Structure 1
Amino acid sequence: MDLEAPPTLLQLAAQCTVRKEVLTISDLQDLPMKLFPPLFKEADIQRKAKMIKLLVEYWPYPRLLVGLLIVKPNLETFQAILEGVGTWLKRKYRPRMGKLQVVDLRNGHHDFWDMQAGREGGDQLVETMPEKQEVEGHSRRQHLRVFSDLSFKSSRHEDKQQTHLLQWAKDREGFLHMCCEKLEIGALEVSKVKKVLKLLQPEFIKELELNTVGNLSKLTKLVPCISKMRNLQKLMLVRIFGRHTYTPLEERNVTKILSLFPKLSYLQHLTIDDVYFLRDHMNELFRCLEAPLLSLTITRCQISQSDLESFAQHWNYGQLKHLCLKGVCLSTLNVKPLKFFLESVADTLQTLELEDCRMEDSNLRILLPALTKCTHLTSINFYDNNISRVVLQDLLHRTANMSQLTMELYPAPLEVYNVWSYYVQVEKFSRLCAELMNTLITVRQPKSVCFGTYSCYDCDTRCIYGNQTTFCECLE
């Protein structure tokens, strides 16, 4: 039985000091720097909001990294931190406290050196900015920077801490810069979104998720705001609804949205999930990409033959590491362009996800020569495709050179299902999957392999054959 280590003398001193609340302003002015973090942590444990406010007012380090000291502070503690920062901003004379440059409210992985030496993501971003942006941002360094991730999924679900933070920042707009690296926008009125974006420094935004923002017209109205996020590295368009036939107005809106991409010269990760308006426009989108993508995720979207052909055209895919086409139906398309594309990215591709593409034997046979060349793959997923045992065996034989694979997900062969439905025949499932596993073991030593059926119509779980065999709830 492991015994908990006894508290150190420093921890005991911090506990006693916080419990008795004996710290005064003169004490804080002379207090050694290294005592501030343990006192801050202990004040949070004992829920001493007044002491937290006082410690923030006299914080001696260049950075106050809240996530390093507290895991998800409650509202009272969060308000105390902001009140302390507000008092610090009002002070005209700051002897030891003048060092404070950044208040980081995010829950992140920091270490003490980050706080002491001042390493944080915002500075790295400024270093990579174009010359014009550096000049424009020179005065910004004289302002306190406050970092926080923000999420506006719905007006129905208000985040009290976030609401308080934004009002607090608005009241002190001339004294600090509100910086957000990760921003999520959902079903919120455009006018409210624009008000929030006015508070933020757009060049600091690295990740943007637009989730269920509404129709195409609403998304178009946000384009001028997004175009200012010139250091954006990750963009996710999720659940943009509309008709599958375009009016002239919608065509113009699509053009406006696509005009955004050439301005995002640092974009590396693009996700398009359940978005209707890019059908027959993928070629235009790919041509607009300035920077080489590292990951491309297209899920639950309907694409045309011309869209698939655009993959094989000349665009910035030379550094692509991750490709996901989950839920993109390929069974009715000629997948030769995808074969050529896979051959083109074979030297860099590390993960490939073709789950629920409804591919049949003929589709996969076309892709097999290209897949053989993707020797740097570490993860593959072919779940929910209609593949026979013979073609699956061929696929497994062709993975002989894929020694870096650590995760492999294959569909159970078509033969395991009842002839008239997709209900699983248990004995056949176990036998055929065992044969396929043996085929793979004769080729190489796999690390983690699973053969999975379609999800059961009744209980929505799969039968899985791997290190352990599990059946759906209906068959157990």
Structure 2
Amino acid sequence: MELEAPPTLLQLAAQCTVLKDVLTSSVLQDLPRKLFPPLFKEADTQRKAKMIKILVEYWPYPCLLVGLLIDKPNLETFRAILDGVGTWLKRKYRPRMGKLQVVDLRNAHHDSWDMQAGREGKDQSVETILEKQVVESHSRKQRLRVFSDLSFKSSQHEDKYQTHLLQWAKERKGFLHLCCEKLEIGALEVSKVRKVLKILQPEFIKELKLNTVGSLSKLAKLVPCISKMRNLHKLMLVRIFGRSTYTPLDERNITKIISLFPKLSYLQHLTIDDVYFLKEHMNVLFRCLESPLVSLTIILCQISQSDLESFAQRWNYGQLKHLCLKGVPLTTLNVTPLQFFLETVADTLQTLELEDCRMNDAHLNILRPALIQCTHLTSINFYDNNISMEALKDLLRHTANMSQLSTELYPAPVEVYNEWRYVQVEIFSQQCAELMNTLMAVRQPKSICFGTYSCYDCDTRCIYEKKTTFCECLQ
């Protein structure tokens, strides 16, 4: 049994100091810098909110990284931190103290930050472009930056922390910049979204998730706000519903939304999830992408033949590492354009997901020459496609050069299902073992699974890895 290491003298001193509640302004002005972090942590452990407030008022470092000192502060502590920052902002004379430049309220760890120097280490979380364009302007304005990730799901689910932070920042807008790198907006009224965005510095937003925004018209109304987020790296459009046919108003709104993309000069990651309005418009969208995409994810979307052909047109895909087409029906489409596209990105592509695309042998045979050229793939997913035993064998025999694959997910052959689409247990185990032997004859896989469609009754798969694991109904 391992024994816990005894507390250090520094920790014992912090415990005793906080317990006796002897910290005053005069004491803090002469306190060595290195005592502030352990005192801060101990004050949180002992739930001394007033002490946290005064520690923040006299914080001696350029950066106050709350996530490094406290794991998810409670609301009282959170308010004490902001009260301390507010008092700090009002101080005109700060003996021996440097200028507090950054207050980071995010829960993430900040191992790369240099607390004394007030800068980041090698693993920068703020891009060089941001530092040049924004940090230099900040130094001229001499305003404190307060970082926090924000998520607005709906008016009915307001976060007390966020509500307090936004009101606090609004009252001090002339003295600080509220900076949000990750922003999620859900089913919130457009007027409320605009009010929130007025408080934020849009140039700091790097990731934006628009989740259940709902209608096309609502998304179009947000375009002027999003267009100011010029350093956006990641955009996720999730669940935007509408009619199967477009009205003239729909077409105008779609044009307005797509006109946003040329303004996003640093966009690298694009996710389109359960979004109806891009059907017959993907060629225009791709042409509007200014920055080379690193990842493209399209989920539960209907696409046309012309949309698929747009993959093969000239657009910024030269650095694409991750491609996901999940729940995108390809059954009635000619996938030859996708074959050309995969051949073009073969030198950069690292992950490929074609799950639940309802492909058959003919589709796989067209794609196979391109797939075997993607020798840098580390992950591949072909679950939920209607592929026969022979077609799967043929694919696996040609993967000798795909040695970097660490995760492989293939569909169980269509032969394992009976006429009612239920799994035949013995045939499943036998055929998957045969496929595994086929693959091992050309290379040694790291992690490989053959999986059936999810069971109608229990919604789990039968999986063949090193052994067979049946769904809950068959166990």
Query: Into which bin does the TM-score normalised by the smaller protein fall?
Result: over 0.9
The range that moved more, 142-151 or 462-471, is 462-471
Match of 2:438 in 1: 439
- Following the alignment from structure 1 to structure 2, what is the Cα–Cα distance between the partners of residues 5 and 344? 56
- CA offsets 1:170-201 (integer angstroms, 9 cap, x no match): 01111111000000000000000000000011
- Following the alignment from structure 1 to structure 2, what is the Cα–Cα distance between the partners of residues 329 and 124? 40
Letter in 2 for 1:273: D
Measured after TM superposition, the shift of residue 124 of structure 1 is: 3.7
- CA offsets 1:335-367 (integer angstroms, 9 cap, x no match): 000000000000000000000000001111100
- Following the alignment from structure 1 to structure 2, what is the Cα–Cα distance between the partners of residues 468 and 158? 47
* 1:253 counterpart SS class: helix
1:216 touches 1:242 (CA, 8 Å); kept in 2? yes
Measured after TM superposition, the shift of residue 128 of structure 1 is: 4.3
- Following the alignment from structure 1 to structure 2, what is the Cα–Cα distance between the partners of residues 456 and 138? 59
2:298 touches 2:328 (CA, 8 Å); kept in 1? yes
Match of 2:301 in 1: 301
* 1:239 counterpart SS class: strand
Task: Please report the TM-score for the alignment, with normalisation by the length of structure 1.
Answer: 0.97
* 1:97 counterpart SS class: coil
Structure 2 residue corresponding to 1:126, chosen from 101, 126, 130: 130
Change (3 A) 1:237 1:82: same
2:130 touches 2:231 (CA, 8 Å); kept in 1? no
* 2:64 counterpart SS class: strand
Match of 2:194 in 1: 194
Measured after TM superposition, the shift of residue 249 of structure 1 is: 0.7
Match of 1:424 in 2: 423
Match of 1:58 in 2: 58
Measured after TM superposition, the shift of residue 114 of structure 1 is: 2.8
Match of 1:360 in 2: 360
Task: Please report the TM-score for the alignment, with normalisation by the length of structure 2.
Answer: 0.97
- CA offsets 1:33-77 (integer angstroms, 9 cap, x no match): 111111111111111111111110100111000011111111011
- Following the alignment from structure 2 to structure 1, what is the Cα–Cα distance between the partners of residues 437 and 351? 24
Match of 2:347 in 1: 347
2:231 touches 2:264 (CA, 8 Å); kept in 1? yes
2:59 touches 2:97 (CA, 8 Å); kept in 1? yes
2:340 touches 2:370 (CA, 8 Å); kept in 1? yes
- Following the alignment from structure 1 to structure 2, what is the Cα–Cα distance between the partners of residues 134 and 284? 35
1:58 touches 1:96 (CA, 8 Å); kept in 2? no
Measured after TM superposition, the shift of residue 134 of structure 1 is: 7.5
Q: How does 1:172-183 map to 2 (within 5 A)?
A: 172-183=172-183
- CA offsets 1:227-281 (integer angstroms, 9 cap, x no match): 0000000000000010121100110100000100000000000000000000000
Letter in 1 for 2:261: F
Measured after TM superposition, the shift of residue 122 of structure 1 is: 4.7
- Following the alignment from structure 2 to structure 1, what is the Cα–Cα distance between the partners of residues 126 and 282? 33
1:464 touches 1:471 (CA, 8 Å); kept in 2? yes
Q: How does 1:431-470 map to 2 (within 5 A)?
A: 431-470=430-469
Measured after TM superposition, the shift of residue 437 of structure 1 is: 0.7
* 2:474 counterpart SS class: coil
- Following the alignment from structure 1 to structure 2, what is the Cα–Cα distance between the partners of residues 139 and 364? 58
1:357 touches 1:385 (CA, 8 Å); kept in 2? yes
Match of 2:143 in 1: 143
- CA offsets 1:81-129 (integer angstroms, 9 cap, x no match): 0000011011111123342100000111212743222225457443343
- Following the alignment from structure 1 to structure 2, what is the Cα–Cα distance between the partners of residues 338 and 160? 47
Change (3 A) 1:47 1:138: closer
The alignment of Structure 1 onto Structure 2 pairs a total of residues equal to: 471
- Following the alignment from structure 2 to structure 1, what is the Cα–Cα distance between the partners of residues 127 and 328? 39
Match of 2:249 in 1: 249
- Following the alignment from structure 2 to structure 1, what is the Cα–Cα distance between the partners of residues 105 and 114? 14
> Which sections of structure 2, spanning at least 5 residues, go unmatched?
none
Change (3 A) 1:438 1:128: farther
- Following the alignment from structure 1 to structure 2, what is the Cα–Cα distance between the partners of residues 374 and 284? 27
Q: How does 1:44-443 map to 2 (within 5 A)?
A: 44-111=44-111, 113-120=113-120, 121-122=125-126, 124-129=128-133, 139-140=140-141, 142-418=142-418, 420-443=419-442
RMSD: 1.3
1:451 touches 1:466 (CA, 8 Å); kept in 2? yes
Change (3 A) 1:112 1:455: closer
